[in-house]
Structure 1
């Protein structure tokens, strides 16, 4: 590990090259991962990134914005290659003063060549991720609407400024729900007549699930607001999804506080499984598995906010 205090971008680039050489050099980097965190969430972010890096060897560039009211710009950097942050090349950059608003001037020289760039915000996302200086050069931009002051309202902002490559960890949170519900329709013989989602109405994941179901089934789901258990990220967890079919059959998925989930379908045996809430690191690791535009997310975001996200999104894969 190398620690540099009150340093410059040039010195950080030189020190990173030196640390890579001392560690015997690394190869096989899958991507550059640029992560924006605040001082309060730094420890939680590092734990999540360590888990994600175990599955996706990367050059990890962590931007910690600290005292923005500091009159003089200052950069403190910590360089770790194959250390506490997992099998990656990591640079933790703590930025003070005006430098915190121009972090791209330090980040861009540190990007590994010839591999994709993913930018992730563990803080409230910017107004337009694709136009943010740290998102403009990224192939994929991952925000987390749940970190916003008004998460559901943030979805409308995400819809208005959507660009291919944008996605949201609140969408990733419902992957298992979408898989389970989709599997139930393998045996369905009629269209859906109504859909009810039992969840906290302030949960952005519930809104995105409603958008996905609405777009796929052609009807507008109802969110039945209720107090629900909190998942491992201390966020509301969806409690149930009920679908009534036009032939009178029902499809219901329920989840209790212990994570036990039951799928009930008219005329079929019940199916049970554990659907635990996933950690921030597990959600991020899933998102890093694919770098193509997330069309299902775009369509769900469009439907749940009544916004035309992109005229190019004609169908949900």
Structure 2
């Protein structure tokens, strides 16, 4: 069910939501959190689709906020429940002019009572998410350094602006890479890693984050650089771990497939596709406490990586 509310108020939206639930039999019981999506109209539906998919694992209320401060003052809203919202209730708020001046006041009356609040910026996040109007009311704040503004140097800005509760989907995309590498190092021979090389696409912030994680965990020389666009399309290309008995290489010869090469063992082919936004969002919603390791990687790990390991374009 979709209910459009043109030129409305937040109070009217809240009353209509209660009415829709009562008439349609939908209830808010079982909703575990409120997810606020602060986005642009151009990417709004894609973000809603990702949230709806994640809501099958995490039933929630989704509040989508788009703003146009320079337009005429008004608030348009839309309520989606039932099949049009997956396992969620979706409230879309399009605020313009003076109505867009205070994002916090737009959502405060629509939050689920006594439930955690998560804010997600699919692109163009504030410089310091925790200090933004929406970030101040949230337990978790999700950004994505791989989206607009398109600049891999954004990774360097994650540490200075970090507050407990912040995370970035460029980090979440590394989960399977980190699992595979950790599994390899848990097997004999238990030799120290003396050097690491990480390669990835020229627009992949995850490349630098993986290098910073390896630097933090292995405390050895780590180099990283980007593959030209015409040789590798997206994401991480390869990781090479050097130790006395020979190199361990985890490399994707093509997107989605990785080959693990180890001394004295046959090569292993692994499924290692680039993770979707839906998968990453669902993973981040599984934990509402601060990701301490992420905080250490973007601060200590990145600092230890040092300016000598900057990208070679």
Question: One fold, TM greater than 0.5?
Answer: yes
Q: Pick from 295, 298, 302 the counterpart of residue 295 of structure 2.
A: 298
2:65 is paired with a residue of what secondary structure? Answer: strand
Residue 242 of structure 1: aligned partner: 240
1:224 is paired with a residue of what secondary structure? Answer: strand
How far is 1:304 from its partner? Answer: 4.8
CA contact (8 A) 1:119 1:141 kept: yes
Residue 196 of structure 2: aligned partner: 195
1:22-41 CA distance string (max 9 Å, x none): 22132100111001110111
170 and 258 in structure 1: CA distance in 2 versus 1, 3 angstrom threshold: closer
Structure 2 CA distance for aligned equivalents of residues 296 and 133 of structure 1: 26
Residue 272 of structure 2: aligned partner: 275
1:39-65 CA distance string (max 9 Å, x none): 111122122122111221100001122
CA contact (8 A) 2:123 2:149 kept: no
How far is 1:11 from its partner? Answer: 0.5
Structure 2 CA distance for aligned equivalents of residues 19 and 274 of structure 1: 44
1:84 is paired with a residue of what secondary structure? Answer: helix
Alignment RMSD (CA, Å): 1.6
Structure 2 spans left out of the alignment, 5+ residues: 305-313
1:29 is paired with a residue of what secondary structure? Answer: coil
Q: Pick from 223, 242, 252 the counterpart of residue 249 of structure 2.
A: 252
CA contact (8 A) 2:195 2:220 kept: yes
User: If the length of structure 2 is used for normalisation, what is the TM-score?
Assistant: 0.91
CA contact (8 A) 1:184 1:265 kept: no
How far is 1:168 from its partner? Answer: 0.2
2:190 is paired with a residue of what secondary structure? Answer: coil
Structure 2 CA distance for aligned equivalents of residues 25 and 224 of structure 1: 51
Structure 2 CA distance for aligned equivalents of residues 220 and 124 of structure 1: 33
Structure 1 CA distance for aligned equivalents of residues 76 and 15 of structure 2: 14
Aligned residues: 299
Residue 124 of structure 1: aligned partner: 124
User: If the length of structure 1 is used for normalisation, what is the TM-score?
Assistant: 0.89
Residue 160 of structure 2: aligned partner: 160
Q: Spell out structure 1 runs of 4+ moving beyond 3 A.
A: none
Structure 2 CA distance for aligned equivalents of residues 23 and 123 of structure 1: 34
How far is 1:99 from its partner? Answer: 2.4
1:209-239 CA distance string (max 9 Å, x none): 0110000000242113213544xxxxx2111
